Structure 1
Amino acid sequence: MNALPSGGVIPELFRGLFDDAAVFPPGNLPLAEAVPAHRAHRAAWYAEAVGPFLCGAGRLGELAAAVSAGSASAGAAEGGAAGADDSVVAGDRPLKVGLVLPGGSIELAPALAAAAPFELAGVELATRDAAKAVAALDRLLPPDVPAAVELPRELLRGDGLDAVLDVLVDSPYRAKFRTGGLVAEAFPDEDELAAFLTGCAQRGLPYKCTAGLHNAVRHTDPETGFEHHGFLNVLLAAQETDRAAAAAVLAERDGEVLAKAARALTDRQIVVIRNSFTAFGTCSIAEPLGDLAALGLLSSPSPLHQEDR
């Protein structure tokens, strides 16, 4: 049985799970606020849970300006000004950025050039043609940079899912699946998500998710009525290769049931799960951590404040 560490240590099950999507909907945090907030996350006790700062290709110039302004302010506060070489440095290291390319392969080359001052942690490429996206990534992406390929959900239904996953499994790239959005239709039901998860599991294909997974447990949002998947549900379902079994895990709404299952995971199961479900984008970092603490799956040495979100 896996023993969950205490005293603020991030369990292996959750390390690097939360990509910082603060500037994306529904959070929409201004970059001038999101950059220092990300710096604070990377310096906090829970830093091992935090992935890269996600930024759309069209906002890289704005991001560089925000980082430069923050560095200049920090330098002035310490009695000196930040030099030109420090313009995109967060603290004493370049800002780790995950590039999000909603416009497809055509954005890749200019975005890679614009991202040169940052530490490029990955690329997420939206497309309607998986083979074309793979070819562009093969041609342009540096070999040490990971990438994920996202196709519209309507192309992943029926035989379309198998066709896309078969293209990706023969590549070095992950799949990406959208689990929510700003309208009810943006949220896949349990069976649709289970089809994606088990299709990837059967092929040994890693993936990330995005949108709608701020909370650990499946629930109905009381304000919108949207049905949100829980990221803990997805983690536990990631080890399933049977679609019905995965759907049942995704449908579970009892946090204590999910927490008990998480505590019972072996080290080997955790490796399998995290080799499959690698990360998800969240506009809040404190909210998912707070859920884990409330379920007894994370021991926090200090409170998670609203300003950490």
Structure 2
Amino acid sequence: MTRLSDAAAPRPAEPGLFAGLVDDAAVFPPGNAPLDEAVRMHRVHRTSWYAGLVGPLLVPASAAGDLVPLAAGADADPLRVAVIGRPGTPVEQVVDAVARLRSADGVEVVGVERGWEPSWREAPDPGVPLTLEVPRGDAQVEAVADIAADASDNRPLQAKFRTGATDTWAWPDERELAAFVRTAVDQDLGFKLTGGLHHAVRGSHDGQEQHGLLNVLVAVRWALNGDDVDELVPLLSERDPGVLVPHVTRMSAADAAIVRAFFPAYGCCGVTDPITELAALGLLEEHA
């Protein structure tokens, strides 16, 4: 097994492969940062050398009221946020949160995420990219196809799949994740992931199995090239960074662009976790 320090790339990857990839989910488990601390640190991230890799701050719909005074009057650019309603959150709560934040000073709502259900179209169109978290099992294929039926350049829609374990959601293994990626690509539908993607490479961390960010990027690239589920599973299972890094550095700017068109972002409660490992692998060009 090659250590991260020994697997460093001879040159950085295409910058577009990581631009805006890591959404800031600091307030969500397992990070559970207080909202004021999450806002403070998000502003730090947005002024750091890696700012271009960091997406919006993800905010629960239930916290919209608490966010308003934290964003108001700040001597900074508007706080870019995505409003999150976990599956089971009433749609009305998400709609109200979006309206409240849009009327607040210092906030820019750039996305909305909530659970998929057959009646999702009955809610008002938020006018920003809408991401719908899909279930697992047979219902997943139906949900992905249903979302894809309405997705267009004029209506940005995405699916979302949970890659980390919770008390009610068992960790999805490589085959389950591969099947989701294959289904989304077959439906020509972009997707986000959430949970568990703290590390660059697949492995066991803190006693838990976790997928690797590089594994996912490589698997998406090869899914777009036509690989089936059986061929994607070994890519998602690979634990050696020395195997994955060459796959990544061989991606051209065009490869990176299409991979990111399908996999635009994922939520991570510790955005510096994957960024630190990507830097250690020589895949990022650090600058002051």
**The TM-score by the shorter chain falls in which range?**
0.7 to 0.9
CA-CA distance at 1:134 after TM superposition = 3.2
In the other structure, the counterpart of 1:132 is 119
Contact 1:206 1:278 in 2 (8 A): yes
User: 1:150 corresponds to which letter in structure 2?
Assistant: E
Q: Is 1:195 aligned to 2:184, yes or no? A: no
Secondary structure of 2:119's aligned partner: helix
Which of 115, 119, 134 lines up with 2:108 in the alignment?
Answer: 119
Secondary structure of 1:55's aligned partner: strand
RMSD of the alignment, in Å?
2.0
In the other structure, the counterpart of 2:234 is 248
Structure 1 segments (4+ residues) deviating >2 Å: 3-6, 65-68, 104-109, 181-186, 299-302
Secondary structure of 1:28's aligned partner: coil
Contact 1:184 1:226 in 2 (8 A): no
Which of 215, 238, 244 lines up with 2:199 in the alignment?
Answer: 215
CA-CA distance at 1:66 after TM superposition = 2.7
In the other structure, the counterpart of 1:45 is 49
CA-CA distance at 1:183 after TM superposition = 4.7
Whole-Å separation in 1 of the counterparts to 2:93 and 2:11: 42
Q: Which structure has greater helix proportion? A: 1
In the other structure, the counterpart of 2:141 is 162
Whole-Å separation in 1 of the counterparts to 2:178 and 2:234: 9
Q: Which runs of 5+ in 1 are unaligned?
A: 69-85, 303-309
In the other structure, the counterpart of 2:58 is 54
| Cα distance, 1:60–1:104 mapped onto 2, change above 3 Å | same
Q: Which runs of 5+ in 2 are unaligned?
A: 1-9, 152-156
In the other structure, the counterpart of 1:27 is 31
Higher relative contact order, chain-length normalized (CA < 8 Å, sep 6+): 2
CA-CA distance at 1:104 after TM superposition = 4.3
Q: TM-score, normalised by structure 1?
A: 0.81
CA-CA distance at 1:185 after TM superposition = 5.0
User: 1:164 corresponds to which letter in structure 2?
Assistant: A
Higher Cα radius of gyration: 1
User: 2:135 corresponds to which letter in structure 1?
Assistant: P
Q: TM-score, normalised by structure 2?
A: 0.86
Secondary structure of 1:23's aligned partner: coil
User: 1:235 corresponds to which letter in structure 2?
Assistant: L
Contact 2:165 2:195 in 1 (8 A): yes
Contact 1:57 1:101 in 2 (8 A): yes
Question: How many residues of Structure 1 are paired with residues of Structure 2 in the alignment?
Answer: 265
Whole-Å separation in 1 of the counterparts to 2:168 and 2:283: 30
